[in-house]
Structure 1
Amino acid sequence: MARKNHRKPAPAGGNRAVPSFIIAPELDLHALTVVEALPKLDEFLHSCFRAGYYRVRIVHGKGTGVLKLEVGRYLAGHPLVLAYRFADTWHGGSGATEVDLSSR
């Protein structure tokens, strides 16, 4: 006796992966230490790259400036980062950094 296939057929165009989560193009690192922030930043950059974002924003605050400085150093050497700069005044000024990501 033949066994019935109870799976639904794949939609036209083949199998398409559906993201299991939605990521916002902004990461808030307020109140984190550099040791806590940099792994989150790396994961965020990779997730945004996979999601197809070309520009993202990192909110680090002004505070003592240590986190802002280390975020800048990290971005300068990251392979997915094309460019970065402080946000416009009305988008956080030097308390936030805008990042342009590579397209490949």
Structure 2
Amino acid sequence: MSPARKRKKVRNPPPPTPGFDAAFVGFKIDLHRLSIRDALIVLDKHLRVCFAANSPVLHAIHGHGSGRLKQAVREHLKSHNLVDKSYPGSYGMGGDGVTIAELKTGDRYATRKNSHNSSALPTSNRRR
């Protein structure tokens, strides 16, 4: 066989990337290794995405550490206007190193369904 007619190795193409499923956007967020300031900014953005995607629950993974990040995350979630309630995770979910946030639902924020304007989303009560 001549060198010009060598067979090319056929590689299997990678499997297709799964499509974007808005129902599962942001179910969990890992805040490890972030400063408190950065973690709260990321958490706030993630809450908005989950709310817009009608995701009812968000798991914020902050770990145990010194406890400062955990305390800041929990205080932020208690005062956030998109969060109905928040509580520590159960033993199987990560225990005290995870905080579960249940997002508000219903007609309370019906304007977001009728408007494509991002200003229709409520803002957080975060201090600046």
- Alignment TM-score, normalising by the size of structure 2: 0.63
Unaligned runs of 5+ residues in structure 2 are: 1-19, 110-128
Q: Which residue of 2 aligns with 1:13?
A: none
Which contiguous aligned blocks of 4+ residues in structure 1 show a shift greater than 6 angstroms?
none
* Partner Cα distance (2:46, 2:26) in 1: 9
Equivalent runs, 1:12-51 vs 2, <5 Å = 22=22, 23-51=25-53
Q: Which residue of 2 aligns with 1:85?
A: 87
Unaligned runs of 5+ residues in structure 1 are: 1-19
Q: Which SS does the other structure have where 2:65 is aligned?
A: coil
Q: Which residue of 2 aligns with 1:61?
A: 63
Q: Which SS does the other structure have where 1:56 is aligned?
A: strand
* Partner Cα distance (2:21, 2:35) in 1: 26
* Partner Cα distance (1:97, 1:53) in 2: 16
* Partner Cα distance (1:62, 1:35) in 2: 17
Q: How many residues align?
A: 85
Q: Which of 1 and 2 has higher RCO (CA within 8 Å, sep 6+)?
A: 1
Shift of 1:35: 1.0
Q: Which residue of 2 aligns with 1:101?
A: 103
Q: Which SS does the other structure have where 2:32 is aligned?
A: coil
Shift of 1:56: 1.3
* Partner Cα distance (1:21, 1:36) in 2: 26
* Partner Cα distance (2:41, 2:59) in 1: 16
* Partner Cα distance (1:45, 1:98) in 2: 12
Among the aligned pairs, what percent are the same residue? 33
Shift of 1:24: 3.2
Q: Which residue of 2 aligns with 1:5?
A: none
Q: Which has the larger radius of gyration?
A: 2
What is the aligned-residue RMSD (CA, Å)?
A: 1.4
Shift of 1:21: 7.3
